[in-house]
Structure 1
Amino acid sequence: MNKICLTAAAVSAALMSAATYAEVDFHGYMRAGVGISGENGENVSYEKNKVGRLGNENDVYGELGLGKEVYNEDGKSFYVDSMLAVATDGSNDWEGLGVNDDGSDNIALRQFNVVAKGFIANDADAALWAGKRYYQRHDIHISDFYYWDTSGAGAGIENLSAGPGKVSFAVIRDDSGEVNVNNLDLRYAGLNLWSDASLELGVNYGLVNATDDQEAMGDFNDGVLLTAELTQGGFLGGFNKTVLQFGTEGYGEQMAGLGAGHYFNASSNDGAQGYRLINWGVIAPSASWEIGHQLIYANTSFDSQEDHSILSAVIRPEYKWSDHVKTIFEAGYYDEDDSGVDKSGSKLTIAQAFTAGPSFWARPELRFYASYLSDFDNDNAFGTGNDTEYSIGAQVEAWW
């Protein structure tokens, strides 16, 4: 009888384990491929945040996430989420996920957090959270540029109903070297203006919390980042976003430096102030065409050095031959004055793509591409005497 009971218990546990496994959410992102270039042999990547990423990436990158709602009773729920990210150059069959030659890690813990709902009366969307997570990230996909991203380890409350919109507040660790910095992140989203238009406002305060010994070694300045994002839906069959940001000190440096609002430089003592204006979106002027674009202008000024300014423009038109086959074009240009150093360049790419659906955002997407790169100020950008480069290759991108 004991053997029968033990067997029944083992079978029951196995069935419960299988049911639990079936309910786990598996999500992530990946890109990988192969390419060759004319001057450098291997595939190359050149200023992709500024001239566009299509046919301009030379790595293998993936994010693997597992999440599960572990409790849901009496109107209360707890969700546990996790994610590891891996990165290699894709040059060999066996690539260990250890440490690169420069000391950087090939594998990283990106998310491990718990989100709790049902604890704010009459506010089903409001959530409490703590842990390490991607926090309400804002990015331009065609250039892989994150312009508002304060992800990290922290805690907060989000989507709390307040008037016509939702309030979120978080405290997130954002250490600068060995100096502790707390990023105080306050956002108000969902403020409806006119038809299909909404406004999101945000304030980030970089609060430096140095030790007495660190304070004795030098001054550390707090910083402020202000963000306003206007989203217009129903715009030529798609959407358009206009973003205005202003930052001081460590955040000011990031404006022309194309930072995301984290990795705050607490030791910046040069009175940095900066702003940037961003316009980006995706439109569908016809059933056969979709077009993504970005336009960025940013400037940072300092007390004792020259300004840093940058202009970037990228456009990605896609022509759909069918629901699963498209031809993609991408052109990008940037012009930058980095404290007296002139930088500028461009990229042209054409790609034939096979994709999981007709949408601009449909993935997986398998592409065969050819790119032409130009650097207008550095005669040796791609090797001695080479200011231009071409590459051909294949890449796949997926999210799920």
Structure 2
Amino acid sequence: MTHKLLPVAAAILVALTSYNVAAESGTDVLTDGWEVHGYGSMNLRMADGETVHEEMGKPDYHSAGTSGQSTNQVELTIKKHTEHQNGVWSDFVVRSEYGNGNSFAYSSSGSQKNNTRAQFEVKESFVEIGGLSYLGEDTSIWGGQRFLNRSAGLISGEFWNQTSGVGAGIQTKLGGNTAGFAFVVADTSSDINGDVNELGKRSTLSSYNFYYHGVEALGGSLNFDLKYMEQANQEDKLSGGLTSAENGIGGAITYNRDYYGLDGWTQTGIAYGKGIASNRGVNFGDWSGDFSEDSTGLFITSYGVLNISENLQLGTEFVYFANDEFYGQKNIERIMFAARPSYKINDNLRLELTGSVSSEKLDDGAAWGRKDDNTYYMLEVASVFTVNADYFGRPQIKPYVTYYNTDKESAGGIKLAAGESSEIVVGVHTEIWF
């Protein structure tokens, strides 16, 4: 009877032995899982009975408030994280987006549109691998398409520091702080939309990114960014006898701390760029061309949230943006200050008041359809229905009324109709992130 059990016992022993060998393999998967994050911004904006396309000068720091043009913007980020027996880990990140920049209100009648504006798109797709024994446990490498090291204003929502494109990079720890290098390229919108094939000469933009983040100093922390940029096949002459820039260099210092010594937080940045880095110095993407060798840009910003009391919080943003030889203007100077007090009525309801004032000085205002000296005002009142009435409590549904005002001769700066000096926009902004 015993000899009949021997093959079974032998098979069990082989199976157990095989399992133990696999479990001790360095490439054995210990954990493997998925994370899903996202963002949604659904904005009903109307003026005089019609939906609104214009952003009322918001991208140029002429106004703040709930001015984004996207009627239905949805963003989903999926990350697959894997850890192995030998300490190696990997992330596969895909960020998809729909509706960014579309201002039409669609119904559900099958195919919604014939054009290709703001369709479902993949904005990020990259793999990051860390813990490789020959690089060290604090070092990771990545490759693919991504947004790298982004910073945006609190109220304007404008990204001033980012590297957006396709590339590869390495990140590690030096002196306990994060250090990295990345090489990223982006083709220009004119090339992409012009359908330049593989035989054409593309004006591809390249960015060499060096960064060192998290340096503790001055009661907070400092981030240092340096970017050298190049553009291929850029030999065109610009108006005014200027020569198109083939390269540029930009840098930024970012200072993170409490709210200027009070309870809260702030982020303050100063950036400078020359040549194709003239757009805020460290703001790289397909928009980084179209500047001359003499173009420069100085950008200073500071924004944050002050916790005044248990029920009252105050968000503020300051921007100074000065350029030489910028889109046909010899000199541009823009200054904006925006404030948003938020009052918590109870755990699920708060009131918001947002105001901004902006000044713009141009060398030749007539070339842009406005005066040389322009001032823009904005005031917005909103009630916020939310699951958490903190300043950043989401999801929320926010009915609002926004008033814009300027001189009639400056109306073009905030996209008002000719001869108009003011506009009232009403809407309901629904927002969630997770």
TM-score range, shorter chain: 0.7 to 0.9
Give the whole-Å Cα distance in 2 for the aligned partners of 1:127 and 1:352: 45
Q: CA deviation at 1:364?
A: 0.9
2:67 corresponding residue in structure 1 = 56
TM-score, normalised with respect to structure 1: 0.84
Q: Aligned letter for 1:228?
A: I
Give the whole-Å Cα distance in 2 for the aligned partners of 1:233 and 1:120: 38
Q: CA deviation at 1:99?
A: 6.2
Q: CA deviation at 1:97?
A: 6.9
**Structure 1 residue 45 corresponds to structure 2 residue 55:** yes
Would the alpha carbon gap of residues 267 and 297 (structure 1) be closer, same or farther in structure 2, given more than 3 Å must change?
A: closer
Give the whole-Å Cα distance in 2 for the aligned partners of 1:390 and 1:264: 31
Question: What secondary structure does 1:225 align onto?
Answer: strand
Question: What secondary structure does 1:367 align onto?
Answer: strand
Q: Aligned letter for 1:277?
A: I
Give the whole-Å Cα distance in 2 for the aligned partners of 1:291 and 1:113: 37
**Structure 1 residue 228 corresponds to structure 2 residue 253:** yes
**Structure 1 residue 272 corresponds to structure 2 residue 295:** yes
Q: CA deviation at 1:181?
A: 2.0
2:217 corresponding residue in structure 1 = 193
Q: CA deviation at 1:266?
A: 4.2
Q: Aligned letter for 2:169?
A: G
2:28 corresponding residue in structure 1 = none
Deviations along 1:194-229, whole A, 9 cap, x unmatched?
A: 43x01111101102344xxx6699865210011001
Q: 1:127 aligns with which of 132, 137, 140?
A: 140
Q: Aligned letter for 1:140?
A: G
**Structure 1 residue 202 corresponds to structure 2 residue 214:** no
CA RMSD between the two structures: 2.7
2:27 corresponding residue in structure 1 = none
Q: CA deviation at 1:163?
A: 1.5
Q: Aligned letter for 1:61?
A: Q
2:268 corresponding residue in structure 1 = 242
Give the whole-Å Cα distance in 2 for the aligned partners of 1:161 and 1:47: 41
Q: Aligned letter for 1:202?
A: D
1:311 corresponding residue in structure 2 = 335
Q: CA deviation at 1:323?
A: 2.1
Question: What secondary structure does 1:382 align onto?
Answer: coil
Q: 1:171 aligns with which of 183, 197, 202?
A: 183
Q: CA deviation at 1:141?
A: 3.2
Q: 2:91 aligns with which of 62, 79, 102?
A: 79
Would the alpha carbon gap of residues 37 and 138 (structure 1) be closer, same or farther in structure 2, given more than 3 Å must change?
A: same
**Structure 1 residue 27 corresponds to structure 2 residue 37:** yes
**Structure 1 residue 151 corresponds to structure 2 residue 175:** no
Q: CA deviation at 1:127?
A: 1.9
Name stretches of at least 5 consecutive residues in structure 2 with no aligned partner.
1-31, 192-201, 238-242, 366-371
**1:182–1:207 CA contact under 8 A, matched in 2:** yes
Give the whole-Å Cα distance in 1 for the aligned partners of 2:178 and 2:247: 27
Question: What secondary structure does 2:394 align onto?
Answer: coil
Give the whole-Å Cα distance in 2 for the aligned partners of 1:230 and 1:45: 29
**1:349–1:370 CA contact under 8 A, matched in 2:** yes
Q: Aligned letter for 1:135?
A: L
2:7 corresponding residue in structure 1 = none
Would the alpha carbon gap of residues 264 and 373 (structure 1) be closer, same or farther in structure 2, given more than 3 Å must change?
A: closer
Give the whole-Å Cα distance in 2 for the aligned partners of 1:156 and 1:202: 14
The percent of aligned pairs where both chains have the same amino acid is 18
Q: Aligned letter for 1:42?
A: T
Question: What secondary structure does 1:378 align onto?
Answer: helix
Would the alpha carbon gap of residues 378 and 228 (structure 1) be closer, same or farther in structure 2, given more than 3 Å must change?
A: same
Q: 1:182 aligns with which of 200, 206, 214?
A: 206
Give the whole-Å Cα distance in 1 for the aligned partners of 2:170 and 2:354: 39
Name stretches of at least 5 consecutive residues in structure 1 with no aligned partner.
1-21
Give the whole-Å Cα distance in 2 for the aligned partners of 1:78 and 1:144: 31
Give the whole-Å Cα distance in 1 for the aligned partners of 2:114 and 2:329: 36
